[in-house]
A and B are shown apart, each in its own frame.
Chain A
Amino acid sequence: MKNVRIWFKKVGAARYISHLDLTHCMARALKLSGLPVWYTQGFNPRIYMTFAMPLSLGTSGLRECMDIRFTEDGAPLEGVAEKINAHLPKDVVVWGVTEPANKLDAIAFARYGIRLETEGSALLKDKIQGLFARGPVTVMKHGKKGDKEFDITPYFSGMGMEELGAGCLALTVRLPCSVSGGVNPGLLLEALKSYEGLEPCGEITREMLLLEDFSEIS
């Protein structure tokens, strides 16, 4: 048995499928790949797959990963990506296959890119800077134990901002993201709506999954 880490991106049309749907896509592609994937040994055997961290519906992921197992220790990793890609939707692409170095539950943060766009040339950058300059920015955080008020300032105030043109802004932010929970980058959009009355088109991309020391998981 050999543990194998599959690196993939989920972009374009595939952004709009849920995590559960993604697992089904992967299972079908792995089945068709002809690779020596290991099946769970229960009453209904299924391909063993563990995803690092589910992506929210609508969020792109560029350096996502999942673990599978090969039944043969010596199974080569060369050519594995191509074999899986041949059966995946075009917007889910495996771009790397490695032997895992870190455990998946060591993921503590993620780096997100948020691309904001508004019609007209609303001064997005000023508004966002103004928003966090004013003090606590509380939004409702939807959690397992119900909704609660949550101040997003500590998480978003230091984010990187780059103006891409009139009304278009690229933000980069590192947020907690782990098995025990995290901060959803979409909360920024909620804050912009409730505090500034702004509803820009916000495209969120998870760019990287990070360990406690901010290095990328490998």
Chain B
Amino acid sequence: MDLQDKKTSELSCDLHDNSDKNERKLALSHKILMSVEKPGRYVGGEVNAVMKDPSKVEVRFAFCFPDVYEIGMSHLGIKILYGAFNQVPYFWCERVFAPWVDMERQMVEHNIPLYALESGDPVGEFDFIGFTLQYELSYTNVLRMLELAGIPLRAADRKDLHNIVVGGGPCACNPEPLADFFDIFFLGDGEEVDLEVMELYRQCKKEEKGKEEFLRMAAQIEGVYVPALYDVAYNPDGTVRSYTPREGAPAVVKKRVVLDMDSAYYPEAFPVPMIEVVHSRIAEEVLRGCIRGCRFCQAGFLYRPFREKSIDVIDAQCRALCASTGYDEISLSSLSTSDYSRLNELIDRLHQWTEKDKVSLSLPSLRVDGFSPELMERIHSVRKSGLTFAPEAGSQRMRDVINKNVTEEELLHTVDVAFTEGWTRIKLYFMIGLPTETKEDVLAILELGKKVVDAFYGNKEKPKGKAVEVALSAAAFVPKPFTPFQWFGQDTMEVLREKQRELTGNVRSRRISVSYHGAKTSFLEAVFARGDRRLCAVMEKAVEMGLHFDGWDDQFDFDKWMEAFEACGIDPAFYANRTRGLDEVFPWDHLDYGVTKEFLKAEYERAYKGLTTPNCREKCANCGALCYKGGLCVEKREDMV
């Protein structure tokens, strides 16, 4: 039979048509791609990836995520900003992810520079190289990526108005351990400020201005922190004495806030990865901020004020994203989605079309007290694989200290509902090493686990023929800037290990399993979370020693890290374990996230007295976020009039 006789539609496939005229060139050879794990990470070519003609754009932005593709592609922030930047015809934003160690080796061996996924062009050719700073243990990857791109690490060594290295995200609230490497940090919501800085760059380029002038002008934009414009002085005891701005930079840099979530930019499409990533689904941000004020939680303070999107807007955005991605799951995302004021109404509205379109809804962040049978009925499509809650601490005393505002009764009621609804696997997240914690508080984690098991056996409507499994997971607490615990000295690794032993050595039920996560990584995280500029030298040393992917257990090398600290003559315990005086100047005191230091201090003191603070909906705690005059802060005021 002649191949050409086959009745096909008008399209035909030429056997030798292996090189389309408009085929996108891959940055890496077939041989290299075949020598690494998951080559799909490195090839781009996804649906909705934005391609532009480089000759027709004026500013090119390499959006770098300092971890592997599967993690970066699951991150919401990059999707929002990628869309926002690419909406502007003369900007082109492309994605860059950290090559995993096998590919990194290949790139070094073959002298292949880090490249952007869309065009395949080397990152060194870009105007902006932007990093999202989500996690302290990704900092070495940031420097490693600059190195792979062939860009000088230190900002001072990059003289021209080109390769401007910028960073944003939660860790930008204390970016000092990275201050020497970055030109600009963006504080707060990036949707507007990033674009303003890109626009300024475009103008400066046209007017042939230099990098220094550009940075001076950028520092005048609200939400822009140019670290080079601040001189730091230290006290003899090693603490910070002062930050002094130069060249007209503001003494205090205010974070930017997008107040109206309904009119804020939200993408109608985002690149759909061809390979499986961590979250293969649509993320719809339903609200920003959190009303809770848990004292350990940095995000809860950084993202104030609490702002919701309207149901109409969420509905329209979900429809658009379903139509552009083909995903069959929508995750209603936020720091605490059960705090959305009209959640049941929202879900009912979405169900008007999602069920017909075979799209399921999921709620990634349910509070113990936000789980109702009514809600479960609406989210019946949630797979019954397991339920996760985060009581955070075992004893009520401890939960009061951290202001979790969840009672044991509520937790037991919730798991009882879950058992009735057919769940048998419950995972509970805790922290150990919290301020004022005693041995009794640690053991209370096990007691709580036992009570959950008992609740299962006491439930008459529990699933038949199945055993209950309760997994208790304990992470080591890391004190973070802009939280009431920012003064607290982290438990030493020895103390944390002792607490871990208490947990694992006292399990009395076969239905309970206990796991904990590394004291060493938490220690390092604590060092960099509250570190200052002197840590830049350690970062540089660590990268020189080949450290990277510190957040991955199989790559983390604690001993090498200690060598790096020693080589630089820096004691990491000074940053991690030292309890600060209430009058100490912090390396982030010149950055303003709305929440005042006085408020945090008051909360710190209330914590030690075991006093809780009501959530923002119940009563305004005067945290300072009212200064933005938006969100729940203002709604509350109107109610009170």
Seen from chain A, the residues whose Cβ lies within 8 Å of a Cβ on chain B are 7, 9, 11-14, 16-18, 20-21, 24-25, 27-29, 31-32, 39, 45, 57-58, 60, 62-63, 77-81, 87-91, 93-98, 201, 203, 205, 207-208, 215-216, 218
Contact B43 A13 (CB under 8 A): yes
Does B570 reach chain A (CB closer than 8 Å)? no
Contact A96 B327 (CB under 8 A): no
Q: How far is the CB of A211 from chain B (nearest CB, A)?
A: 10
Contact B18 A81 (CB under 8 A): no
Q: Point out the residues of chain A lying under 8 angstroms from B323, CB to CB.
A: 32
Q: Point out the residues of chain B lying under 8 angstroms from A95, CB to CB.
A: 8-9, 11-13
Q: Which residue in chain A gives the minimum CB-CB distance to B323?
A: A32
Which of B32-40, B531-539, B624-632 is near enough to bind chain A? B32-40
Alpha-carbon gap, A84 to B358, bound state (A): 18
Q: How far is the CB of A59 from chain B (nearest CB, A)?
A: 10
| B13, B15, B29, B39 interface centre (most CB from chain A within 10 Å) | B13
Q: A24-B280, A60-B18 are in contact. Are A98 and B8 (CB under 8 A)?
A: yes
Does B24 reach chain A (CB closer than 8 Å)? yes
Q: When each residue 1-17 of chain B gets 1 if its CB lies under 8 Å from chain A and 0 otherwise, what string results?
A: 10100111101110101
Q: Which residue in chain B gives the minimum CB-CB distance to A203?
A: B30
Q: A13-B40, A62-B13, A216-B3 are in contact. List 12 more A-B contacts (CB 8 A).
A: A11-B23, A12-B43, A13-B26, A21-B275, A39-B358, A62-B17, A63-B13, A89-B45, A94-B11, A96-B9, A97-B8, A201-B30
Contact B1 A58 (CB under 8 A): no
Alpha-carbon gap, A209 to B26, bound state (A): 27
9 examples of A-B residue contacts, CB within 8 angstroms = A13-B24, A27-B326, A28-B327, A57-B39, A58-B34, A87-B47, A90-B45, A96-B9, A97-B8
Q: Point out the residues of chain A lying under 8 angstroms from B206, CB to CB.
A: none
Q: Point out the residues of chain A lying under 8 angstroms from B348, CB to CB.
A: none
Selected from B13, B24, B26, B326, the residue in CB contact (under 8 A) with A31 is B326
Alpha-carbon gap, A40 to B24, bound state (A): 36
Contact A45 B44 (CB under 8 A): no
Q: How large is the interface on B (under 10, 10 to 19, 20 to 34, 35 or more residues)?
A: 35 or more
Contact A28 B325 (CB under 8 A): yes
Does B274 reach chain A (CB closer than 8 Å)? yes
Query: Which residues 184-239 of B sit at the A interface, judged by CB distance below 8 A?
Result: none
Does B46 reach chain A (CB closer than 8 Å)? yes
Q: How far is the CB of A110 from chain B (nearest CB, A)?
A: 13
Alpha-carbon gap, A118 to B207, bound state (A): 49
Q: Which residue in chain B gives the minimum CB-CB distance to A90?
A: B45
Interface majority SS (helix, strand, loop, mixed), chain A: mixed
Contact A96 B326 (CB under 8 A): no
Alpha-carbon gap, A81 to B325, bound state (A): 18
Contact A88 B47 (CB under 8 A): yes
Q: How far is the CB of A193 from chain B (nearest CB, A)?
A: 12
Q: How far is the CB of A37 from chain B (nearest CB, A)?
A: 11
Q: Point out the residues of chain B lying under 8 angstroms from A90, CB to CB.
A: 24, 45
Selected from A17, A58, A207, the residue in CB contact (under 8 A) with B30 is A58
Q: How far is the CB of A189 from chain B (nearest CB, A)?
A: 10
Contact A201 B6 (CB under 8 A): no
Q: How far is the CB of B192 from chain A (nearest CB, A)?
A: 32
Contact A13 B274 (CB under 8 A): yes
Does B466 reach chain A (CB closer than 8 Å)? no
Contact A87 B45 (CB under 8 A): no
Q: How far is the CB of B20 from chain A (nearest CB, A)?
A: 8
| B1, B30, B42, B274 interface centre (most CB from chain A within 10 Å) | B274
Query: Which residues 30-83 of B sit at the A interface, judged by CB distance below 8 A?
Result: 30-31, 33-34, 39-40, 42-47
Q: Point out the residues of chain B lying under 8 angstroms from A32, CB to CB.
A: 323, 326
Contact A207 B15 (CB under 8 A): yes
Alpha-carbon gap, A79 to B11, bound state (A): 10
Seen from chain B, the residues whose Cβ lies within 8 Å of a Cβ on chain A are 1, 3, 6-9, 11-13, 15, 17-18, 20, 23-24, 26, 29-31, 33-34, 39-40, 42-47, 272, 274-276, 280, 323, 325-328, 358
Q: A24-B280, A90-B24 are in contact. Are A12 and B45 (CB under 8 A)?
A: yes
Contact A78 B40 (CB under 8 A): no
Alpha-carbon gap, A97 to B42, bound state (A): 31
Q: Point out the residues of chain B lying under 8 angstroms from A78, CB to CB.
A: 9
Q: Point out the residues of chain B lying under 8 angstroms from A20, CB to CB.
A: 276
Q: Point out the residues of chain B lying under 8 angstroms from A77, CB to CB.
A: 9
Q: Point out the residues of chain B lying under 8 angstroms from A7, CB to CB.
A: 8, 13
Alpha-carbon gap, A27 to B280, bound state (A): 13
Q: A12-B23, A45-B358, A91-B45 are in contact. Are A58 and B39 (CB under 8 A)?
A: yes
Q: How far is the CB of A100 from chain B (nearest CB, A)?
A: 12
Contact B326 A29 (CB under 8 A): yes
Q: A58-B34, A78-B9 are in contact. Are A21 and B274 (CB under 8 A)?
A: yes
Alpha-carbon gap, A39 to B358, bound state (A): 10
Contact A81 B11 (CB under 8 A): yes
Q: Point out the residues of chain B lying under 8 angstroms from A14, CB to CB.
A: 45, 274
Alpha-carbon gap, A32 to B280, bound state (A): 16
Alpha-carbon gap, A204 to B15, bound state (A): 13
Q: Point out the residues of chain A lying under 8 angstroms from B34, CB to CB.
A: 58
Q: Point out the residues of chain A lying under 8 angstroms from B39, CB to CB.
A: 16, 57-58
Alpha-carbon gap, A176 to B17, bound state (A): 24
Alpha-carbon gap, A64 to B75, bound state (A): 34
Contact B18 A13 (CB under 8 A): no
Alpha-carbon gap, A81 to B594, bound state (A): 54
Contact B326 A28 (CB under 8 A): yes
Q: How far is the CB of A144 from chain B (nearest CB, A)?
A: 22
Q: Point out the residues of chain B lying under 8 angstroms from A28, CB to CB.
A: 47, 272, 325-327
Contact B326 A18 (CB under 8 A): no
Q: Which 3 A-B pairs have CB atoms at the shortest separation, nearest pair first? A: A28-B326, A96-B8, A13-B45
| B33, B40, B280 interface centre (most CB from chain A within 10 Å) | B40
Q: Point out the residues of chain A lying under 8 angstroms from B18, CB to CB.
A: 11, 60, 62, 205
Contact A215 B274 (CB under 8 A): no
Q: Point out the residues of chain B lying under 8 angstroms from A63, CB to CB.
A: 13, 15
Q: Point out the residues of chain A lying under 8 angstroms from B40, CB to CB.
A: 13, 16-18, 21
Contact A58 B11 (CB under 8 A): no
Q: How far is the CB of A10 from chain B (nearest CB, A)?
A: 10
Selected from A45, A81, A201, the residue in CB contact (under 8 A) with B31 is A201
Q: Which residue in chain A gives the minimum CB-CB distance to B44?
A: A13
Q: Which residue in chain A gives the minimum CB-CB distance to B1?
A: A215
Q: Point out the residues of chain A lying under 8 angstroms from B46, CB to CB.
A: 89
Contact B9 A16 (CB under 8 A): no
Q: Which residue in chain B gives the minimum CB-CB distance to A186?
A: B34
Q: Point out the residues of chain A lying under 8 angstroms from B15, CB to CB.
A: 62-63, 207-208
Q: Which residue in chain A gives the minimum CB-CB distance to B6?
A: A218
Selected from B11, B44, B272, the residue in CB contact (under 8 A) with A96 is B11
Q: Which residue in chain A gives the minimum CB-CB distance to B33?
A: A16
Q: Point out the residues of chain A lying under 8 angstroms from B8, CB to CB.
A: 7, 95-98
Q: How far is the CB of A43 from chain B (nearest CB, A)?
A: 11
Alpha-carbon gap, A57 to B280, bound state (A): 20
Q: How far is the CB of B366 from chain A (nearest CB, A)?
A: 22
Q: Which residue in chain B gives the minimum CB-CB distance to A99?
A: B7
Q: How far is the CB of A217 from chain B (nearest CB, A)?
A: 10
Selected from A31, A81, A216, the residue in CB contact (under 8 A) with B1 is A216
Q: Point out the residues of chain A lying under 8 angstroms from B325, CB to CB.
A: 28
Q: How far is the CB of B76 from chain A (nearest CB, A)?
A: 19
Q: Point out the residues of chain B lying under 8 angstroms from A29, CB to CB.
A: 47, 326
Contact B30 A216 (CB under 8 A): no
Q: Which residue in chain A gives the minimum CB-CB distance to B273?
A: A21
